[in-house]
Amino acid sequence: MRRFKGYIFDLDGTIYLGDHAIPGAPETIAALRAGGARVAFLSNKPIEPASSYADKLSKLGIPATPADVLNSSIVMARYLARTAPDARVYLIGEEPLAEELRQRSITMTEVPREATHVVVSWDRQFTYKKLDDALQAIKGGARFIATHPDRTCPVPGGEVADVGGMIGAIEGVTGKKVELVTGKPSPITVMEALTMLDLSAEDCIMVGDRLETDMRMGREAGMATGLVLTGITGREQLESSPIRPDYVLGSVADLVDAADLVNLADPAK
């Protein structure tokens, strides 16, 4: 397998499953870094700050800082700061997204008619009032954009309603489709990840467990793609899908040779 300058990893299903690291993941990341590769971690989940992911990864044996992590809240805040720094945002979303917007000096408003953008994200405090405010803002000309497209989020024992509900509610009252989704598989997420790594697409591989988001996004961006079979996708779905990753990996551990892992385990050798 070719060595890349940059490795962009999905998190849940790829690096860890719930609260457990995928066996071999810490050693693999360490080996890649030891070989000079740059590593970024990518999640569509907007309801926790980058520092939470960095802490979790570090606890699982993968040292990480918030600067190594990109989630859909960060991508949205960076996108707005780049393209619409004077935006006045009516936000349907939780505190970590609000905090990302504040950090980039994006103005938020509670007054629908003042809003230039309705930014929609996963919001467990979503109410009828927020829905009606979004309707009034969009009728007044505000853009309708969302952080990510996920219908549901996996949780132990099942799944819970995700941003798909908030997007669907607003589409349902406005009769308009969401104009832009910045999270995976949007190329906006790829651009932010490449900027973070300071590398170009052809030097990077996207590694993840989902064909429709991770693999599709990597392919469309011109990156190599590596599907891991530790998450949502099994060999059966892979065979029936039109999306063909460049590499199919039993797990993230297959990214490096066993020899590299041994050397790392005992740096004296």
Backbone angles phi, psi at 72, to 5 degrees: -70, -20
Per rule CB under 8 A, is residue 157 in the interface with a copy of itself? no
Per rule CB under 8 A, is residue 126 in the interface with a copy of itself? yes
Counting beta carbons within 10 angstroms of the beta carbon of residue 154, is it exposed (0 to 12), middle (13 to 18) or buried (19 or more)? middle
Per rule CB under 8 A, is residue 59 in the interface with a copy of itself? no
79 pairs with which residues across the strands?
none
Counting beta carbons within 10 angstroms of the beta carbon of residue 156, is it exposed (0 to 12), middle (13 to 18) or buried (19 or more)? exposed
123, 192, 209, 214: residue in contact with a copy of itself (rule CB under 8 A): 123
CA-nearest of 92, 93, 99, 52 to 77 is 99
The interface region with a copy of itself, picked from 98-106, 168-176, 192-200, 227-235 by CB under 8 A, is: 168-176
Per rule CB under 8 A, is residue 168 in the interface with a copy of itself? yes
The interface region with a copy of itself, picked from 40-48, 127-135, 219-227, 234-242 by CB under 8 A, is: 127-135
83 sits in which H/E element: helix 72-83
Residue 39, amino acid:
V
Torsion of CA 138, 142, 147, 148, to 10 degrees: 40
166, 205, 221, 228: residue in contact with a copy of itself (rule CB under 8 A): 166
Per rule CB under 8 A, is residue 135 in the interface with a copy of itself? yes
Per rule CB under 8 A, is residue 175 in the interface with a copy of itself? yes
The interface region with a copy of itself, picked from 27-35, 49-57, 103-111, 128-136 by CB under 8 A, is: 128-136
Per rule CB under 8 A, is residue 139 in the interface with a copy of itself? yes
Residues forming contacts to a copy of itself in the complex (CB under 8 A) are 123-128, 131-132, 135-136, 139, 151-152, 158-162, 164-175
